[in-house]
A and B are shown apart, each in its own frame.
Chain A
Amino acid sequence: MIKLLGIEKIYDSPSGKVHALKGIDLEIARGEIYGIIGLSGAGKSTLVRCINMLERPTAGKVFVDGQDMTALTESELRTARKNIGMIFQHFNLLSSATVYDNIAFPLKLSGTSSADIQKKVQPLLELVGLSDKANQYPAQLSGGQKQRVGIARALASDPKVLLCDEATSALDPQTTKSILALIKDINKKLALTVVVITHEMQVIKDICDKVAVISDGVIAERGSVLDVFTNPRHEITKEFISVLLSNELPAAFRGNEISQDRTPGSLLLLRLIFLGERADDPVLAKMIRTCAGLECTMLFGNLDEIHGVPFGRFIIGLSGADEAINNALNFLGGEDVRVEVIGYVRRNSTAVE
């Protein structure tokens, strides 16, 4: 549905040339929700604006629904843009127009008759749950309601693609959830291709099928959300994920020296990641039964779901004879679980046993 080939964007700024995008290739399939995550200044907003040519790439090609956007004239581009809805962080609604007129705006631009506008706007008001607010002005609405108006407006011209530029970044977590649910809902109902720009991993986790992590103008990592979440490769990805999934050691061990060699009184800490059907297998119970003389302490546990796939993360502490510990590592190696050996860490003396 959307294909970006070798997108480069260079800006002239007072302090010299800024290379905002350094050769981005990206393919987004029809009906997909594709997340693009990055820190501010990473180039993600520029990238999404290249899709509808609000920013013209310095080099590269942009295809939307098979059409080469970079080759269009201004007037062809205006027609093509009606196929691409966009919503914004700050909503960008007309303050001088009512909710109804804001949603009707793209239709008025294309000269639709007011009878047809009525037919179009009413169901949209219902879809976003604002039927009772039709005659209010944006200033009378909450942030979440404003974004609902933004979504309805973006859908008014029956687009095939919806671009969401930090659409939930100005909203509180509760409202964010409801807006994301709405986006997911319209993605399903209308088979809409959605591009989500965000700096919040939660947004990616909640609604995206695929994700690209953009850093310093290049895509550092990409893949299905499940893959990227459970097996992040790039440092920046790990950082984004750590906001949601803490990588810190439990408080009783935090700050203590981590050693690869056994020291007296320490536990061997392991981070275990279970994925999919096997997430609820009794692997640990089996390990303890199999490895005689092994002591196993559960230090941290979290079961989550990404797109309905169970995803468990645990930190366990092993002690006991060296042989028992080796047996345990061998046992885990043969199971369907990802094991990361953190090292031998001593428990804080102040912590209560």
Chain B
Amino acid sequence: MFAEILPLLSKALGETIYMVVVSMAIASAIGVPLGVLLHTTAKGQILENIFINQTIGSVVNAVRSIPFIILMVAIIPLTRFLVGSAIGTTAAIVPLVIASIPFIGRQVETSLKEVPAGLIEAAQAMGATPAQIITKVLLPEAMPSIVSQLTTVIIALVGESAMAGAIGGGGLGDLAIRYGYQRFRPEVMLATVVVLIILVQAVQFIGNTLAKKLDKR
């Protein structure tokens, strides 16, 4: 029996990791700058611009308030436009990215808020440009916190990717639903859950270790 489940499990695990890693990479590339923008355009910050801040803030809130399963279905035309198909593992990456960008933005914003204002002031007094303040003060100082926050995002992505089965994305969640639930195979359900727990534990452990290593305070 185990020999029968194993190939299923490893294929599903591979799909989950693929969805999470690729979504995370793309979402971070957009979400981290978004978080920087959210923080630096806020009142009293180096690029203060209330209009931009509130506009971006509202969009972020709007996207974040859509339940993932609905977002996934709602953006099918966009997905089809971007990856040429609305079903499959790669197709699932589009809604995962879109859901994660505002999440990462807010998490990074929270991390940047923890950087003491005095440090920004000191950098300004030394003649730093806003770009230098972002790259040489804000991001390095907030890095341990950003790593912790992004760890949370990855774990959320593992959870969201479980819904990808709804659009034929595969993955561990899909396996648990199709085999464990619909075909009454509790041992498959159990095995999937165990793998998910190990996966999440591993992500959390790596995130914590990295954050601790970066934290010199």
Seen from chain A, the residues whose Cβ lies within 8 Å of a Cβ on chain B are 52, 54, 77-82, 84, 86, 88, 90, 92-97, 105-106, 108-110, 137-139, 153, 157, 163
Contacts and interface: CB of A to CB of B under 8 A. Distances in A.
Given A88-B122, A94-B141, A96-B143, A109 B128 contact: yes
Contact of A94 (B119, B132, B214): B119
B212 interface: no
A12 to B, nearest CB: 12
Contacts of A106: 126-127
A95 B216 contact: yes
B125 A78 contact: no
A163 B121 CA distance: 13
Interface string B123-160: 11111110010001100110100000000000000000
B136 A95 contact: no
Contact of B128 (A78, A80, A86): A78
Contact of B122 (A92, A110, A139): A92
Given A81-B124, A109-B136, 13 more contacts: A54-B121, A54-B124, A78-B128, A81-B125, A82-B127, A86-B125, A86-B126, A88-B121, A92-B121, A109-B126, A110-B127, A157-B126, A163-B125
Contacts of B129: 78
Nearest to B133: A109
Contacts of B183: none
A157 B128 CA distance: 12
A88 B214 contact: no
A84 B125 contact: yes
27 contacts: A54-B125, A77-B127, A78-B127, A78-B128, A80-B127, A81-B125, A82-B127, A84-B125, A88-B118, A90-B118, A92-B116, A92-B118, A92-B121, A94-B119, A94-B141, A95-B217, A96-B141, A96-B143, A105-B123, A108-B136, A109-B132, A109-B136, A137-B216, A138-B216, A139-B216, A139-B217, A153-B126
